[in-house]
Amino acid sequence: MKWKAKVVIRLKEGLNDPEGRVIGKALKNLGYKVEELKVPKYFELIFESEAPEKDVEEMCKRLLANPVIHTYEYQIEPLGE
């Protein structure tokens, strides 16, 4: 069966997000009152699997996220054929 997964990877709380800091500063320079900005990574995957949650969990742990510095969450939905 085919599935679609939406995965969001974020830096753990308290870790430095240099890209977010630079973009946040640029928005402040444009006059916006941004207090904090974080830049997560977002992935959309379409894949075949008999155990989609297990596979997405493995993908996150093995490649998409570094468990030392990242947290992740995902949603999985079946694709109609």
* Domains of the chain by residue range: 2-78
For residues 9 and 40, is the Cβ–Cβ distance under 8 A?
A: yes
CA distances from 47 to 14, 64, 67, 69, 72 (A): 33, 15, 23, 26, 19
The DSSP H or E segment spanning 78 is strand 70-78
The confidence score (pLDDT) of residue 68 equals 95
CATH for 2-78? 3.30.1280.10
* CA proximity to 16, closest of 31, 34, 32, 38: 38
pLDDT, tens digit, for every residue of 32-57? 999 999 999 999 999 999 999 999 99
Tell me the percentage of the chain whose pLDDT exceeds 90.
98
At 65 the pLDDT is 98
Looking at the DSSP bridge assignments, the partners of residue 5 are: 45, 76
State the average pLDDT for the chain: 96
